[in-house]
């Protein structure tokens, strides 16, 4: 990995960047769907055109290979194009009209409601997805789609890539007709803290560690005018394997688990970090056999490389934890090797704060349980997660397990493994604390809802209404009028 010096943004530079965003905000808010969609597609096209240059920079800075990085650029530009379609389709506006009715009690005025952009948005880049959750990633795409300029705080793990991506996207937006100040970049921890506290910034999106996210969350809420902070923080993503599933397809499930928790060297936020398995089913042995041939690799940053063995050591300090596969002493090398650990449900219930803490890297914890009640008690100890997975067989009584998993996660899987997040209209990538700081998603079409606020016009002259609330526009946009939903 090549180290690039962070260019710490000064307070004077930050104020200038934020002022430019403030001046751009009314133009973004007033832009038409056609204009905004064109701006988003222009950014996507520019990134696709620069893919060779960007992947070369990213490979130097992130230790990720070109195949993964090229795929991630495709996901990033796909997100931008999805949100262009969301803007054109129009239902995200939640257009709602109540016609005036003087005969009602009390008399009802005419009310016209829509969602509008909140204003300048701060976005904090992630380390593990240098494109898809970074400068031009999902938070930026959804905030722009909502009609807001964006100021990105670059991640220290890939500063050169952040700068170049920001240059390409900002230039593409302006060339397509968007105002100056539509997208900008700041660097350094102090600048990030100041950004989330700046009175012009109206919301923030974050993907990263629980500690870093919580600190920013507290800053956002400690402002004289608190703002929404949408953080994706920590997630252990529990998996449950029933006795029937282990008996019917244990070998297949073991292979799938190993492939999933080692994907991307275990650095996906949806990695299955804790897996509940029936005691005595032989599943641990199956996982050990497959993990023995699994390939490790370098971790993203020096900080992550140092933290990985420390996380494993914390787990091994618990007397209940055993090594199933791997060599923990090799975890901190430049090519981190997969590690499988095991414990039992009673220990998880007794010490969830120790055994259920996320460990970033290629490690998973198998939790043995002795029956439905033992499993249910342990699942209740699991913190909120992005995903939960249930592998069962027809005829299994999983009603209680499923009820618990639905309370614990934002996405419940019944086949496959969680390390794959499709960017679609129906996707949800969020969950109860500490997975996220809100109930909203950071992936998929409804991610746009984070950066919008309701606004109602009462008895407004037609000429002063936003274009999308006028009757001519309503004839071609989804809306609700006097309680009746219309989809042209």
For helices 33-49 and 51-62, give the axis angle rounded to 10 degrees.
70
Structure-block tokens of residue 86: 């969301």
Q: By C-alpha distance, which of 348, 367, 350, 338 is closest to 271?
A: 338
What pLDDT was estimated at residue 63?
A: 83
Is there a contact between 192 and 153 (Cβ–Cβ < 8 Å)?
A: yes
A 10 A CB-CB count for 431 gives: 25
What pLDDT was estimated at residue 1?
A: 44
Please provide the DSSP assignment of 228-296 as one string: -EEEE------EEE-HHHHHHHHHHHHHHHHHHHHGGGG--TT---EEEEETTSSHHHHHHHHHTT---
Instruction: Delimit the domains of the chain by residue range.
Output: 11-233+438-481, 239-413
38-95: per-residue pLDDT in tens? 999 999 999 999 999 999 999 999 989 999 999 999 999 999 999 999 999 999 999 9
**3-state helix, strand and coil shares in percent for the chain, rounded to the nearest 5:** 45, 20, 35
What pLDDT was estimated at residue 423?
A: 95
Secondary structure class of 453 (helix, strand, coil): strand
Q: Tell me if the pTM is above 0.85.
A: yes
Alpha carbon dihedral 61, 65, 66, 70, in 10-degree steps, equals -90
Rounded to the nearest angstrom, the gap between the alpha carbon of residue 345 and the centroid of all alpha carbons in its chain is 29
For helices 138-145 and 66-89, give the axis angle rounded to 10 degrees.
20
What pLDDT was estimated at residue 330?
A: 61
Task: Give me the phi and psi of 14, to 5 degrees please.
Answer: -60, -45
Q: Cβ contacts of residue 285 below 8 Å, gap of 6+?
A: none
Cα–Cα distance for residue pair 55/254, rounded to 1 Å = 33
What pLDDT was estimated at residue 2?
A: 45
* Domain 239-413, classified CATH 1.20.140.10, yes or no: no
What pLDDT was estimated at residue 184?
A: 98
A 10 A CB-CB count for 78 gives: 15
Is there a contact between 241 and 253 (Cβ–Cβ < 8 Å)?
A: yes
Residues of the chain falling short of pLDDT 70 = 1-4, 329-334
Question: How is domain 11-233+438-481 classified at the architecture level of CATH?
Answer: 3-Layer(aba) Sandwich (3.40)
Cα–Cα distance for residue pair 427/410, rounded to 1 Å = 10
Q: Is the dihedral of CA 245, 247, 252, 256 positive or negative?
A: positive
Task: Give me the phi and psi of 269, to 5 degrees please.
Answer: -65, -15
What pLDDT was estimated at residue 172?
A: 98
What pLDDT was estimated at residue 328?
A: 79
Cα–Cα distance for residue pair 215/222, rounded to 1 Å = 10
What pLDDT was estimated at residue 159?
A: 96
Is there a contact between 232 and 442 (Cβ–Cβ < 8 Å)?
A: yes
What pLDDT was estimated at residue 327?
A: 84
End-to-end Cα spacing for the chain: 53
**Active-site residue numbers?**
232, 269
Cα–Cα distance for residue pair 356/367, rounded to 1 Å = 11
Secondary structure class of 176 (helix, strand, coil): coil
Q: Which residues of 366-383 are buried (b: 16+ CB within 10 A; e: fewer)?
A: bbbbeeeebbeebbebbb
Cα–Cα distance for residue pair 449/447, rounded to 1 Å = 5
């Amino acid at each position: 990995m090549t180290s690039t010096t962070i260019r710490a943004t000064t307070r004077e530079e930050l104020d200038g960047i934020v002022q430019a965003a403030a001046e751009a905000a009314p133009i973004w808010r007033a832009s038409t769907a056609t204009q905004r969609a064109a701006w988003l597609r222009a950014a996507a096209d520019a990134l696709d055109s620069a893919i060779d240059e960007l992947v070369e920079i990213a490979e130097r800075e992130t230790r990720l290979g070109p195949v993964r990085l090229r795929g991630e650029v495709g996901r990033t530009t796909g997100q931008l194009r999805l949100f262009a379609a969301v803007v054109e389709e129009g239902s995200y506006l939640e257009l709602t009209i109540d016609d005036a009715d003087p005969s009602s009690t009390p008399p009802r005025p005419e009310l016209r409601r829509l969602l509008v952009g909140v204003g300048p948005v701060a976005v904090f880049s992630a380390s593990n997805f240098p494109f898809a959750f970074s400068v031009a990633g999902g938070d930026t795409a959804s905030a722009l789609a909502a009609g807001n300029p964006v100021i990105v705080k670059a991640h220290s793990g890939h500063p050169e890539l952040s700068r170049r991506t920001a240059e390409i996207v900002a230039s593409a937006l302006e060339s397509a007709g968007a105002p100056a100040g539509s997208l900008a970049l700041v660097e350094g921890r102090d600048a990030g803290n100041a950004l989330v506290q700046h009175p012009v910034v109206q919301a923030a999106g974050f993907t990263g560690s629980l500690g870093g996210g919580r600190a920013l969350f507290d800053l956002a809420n400690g402002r004289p005018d608190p703002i929404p902070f949408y953080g994706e923080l920590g997630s252990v993503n529990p998996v449950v394997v029933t006795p029937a599933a282990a008996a019917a397809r244990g070998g297949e499930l073991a292979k799938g688990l190993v492939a999933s928790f080692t994907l991307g060297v275990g650095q996906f936020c949806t990695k299955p970090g804790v897996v509940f398995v029936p005691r005595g089913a032989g599943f641990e042995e199956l996982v050990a056999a497959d993990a023995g041939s699994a390939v490790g690799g370098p971790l993203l940053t020096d900080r992550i490389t140092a933290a990985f063995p420390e996380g494993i050591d914390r787990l091994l300090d618990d007397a209940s934890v055993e090594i199933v596969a791997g060599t923990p002493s090799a975890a901190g090398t430049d090519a981190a090797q997969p590690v499988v650990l095991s414990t039992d449900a009673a220990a998880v219930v007794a010490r969830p704060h120790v055994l259920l803490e996320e460990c970033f890297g290629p490690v998973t914890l198998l939790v043995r349980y002795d029956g439905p009640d033992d499993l249910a008690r342990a699942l209740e100890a699991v913190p909120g997660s992005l995903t939960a997975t249930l592998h069962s067989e027809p005829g299994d009584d999983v009603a209680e397990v499923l009820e618990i998993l639905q309370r614990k996660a934002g996405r419940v899987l019944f086949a496959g493994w969680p390390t794959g997040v499709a960017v679609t209209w129906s996707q949800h990538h969020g969950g109860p604390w500490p997975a996220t700081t809100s109930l909203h998603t950071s992936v998929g079409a409804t991610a746009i809802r984070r950066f919008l606020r309701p606004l109602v016009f009462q008895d407004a002259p037609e000429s002063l209404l936003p274009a999308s609330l006028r009757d001519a526009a309503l004839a071609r946009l989804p809306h609700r009028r006097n309680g009746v939903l219309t989809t042209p």
